[in-house]
Amino acid sequence: MARYWIGGGGDWNDTAHWSASSGGIGGETVPSSLDEVHIDPLSGAGTLTVNENIEVDRLLFEDQEVLFDCNSHNVSALSEVRIASSVASVNFGSGICTTPLFKVWGGGLGPSIINCETSTVVINSLGAGWLQFGQNINFYKVQ
């Protein structure tokens, strides 16, 4: 199922910020490992704070003004993490981001700030894992 972040800043666990459609009405369940998460232009401005370890199917950052802050919590995306170059800020902190595909692509109005300097990104796949970039990015550790 698709889940869309709405209403600007807030905590990941607050159902008022989760909608079934872009710019829709909140009150949907917090995303789980079955869900595709969209943080998009209709998400609003502010900081989305992740206050526990999370697991989703896909985590898609799509040209928005939301600052995504994981603090020190782990993020597991079972299919992929995709980050548009015009994303305002993605901060994985010192947590571990695990995914079979970690993709940063261009084409946006950028620049984005993607902070993985103190985190570990684990490209975890049964077959070949992918790490693709359309811009410069700094990592502390990639496994």
Q: Alpha helix (H) ranges present in 17-109? A: none
What pLDDT, on a 0 to 100 scale, did the predictor assign at position 102? 77
**pTM for the structure as a whole:** 0.81
What pLDDT, on a 0 to 100 scale, did the predictor assign at position 111? 46
User: Given phi > 0 = left and psi -120 to 50 = alpha, else beta, which region is 117?
Assistant: alpha
Structure tokens at 90: 């993605």
pLDDT in tens, the chain (143 residues): 999 999 999 999 999 999 999 999 999 999 999 999 999 989 988 899 999 999 999 999 886 677 888 888 889 999 988 887 566 677 777 778 888 877 776 555 454 555 555 555 665 544 544 555 544 455 555 55
Instruction: Return all residues near 87 (Cβ < 8 A) that are at least 6 apart.
Output: 61, 62, 63, 64, 68, 108, 112, 114
Nearest to 95 by CA among 66, 79, 115: 115
What pLDDT, on a 0 to 100 scale, did the predictor assign at position 113? 53
What pLDDT, on a 0 to 100 scale, did the predictor assign at position 103? 76
What pLDDT, on a 0 to 100 scale, did the predictor assign at position 135? 47
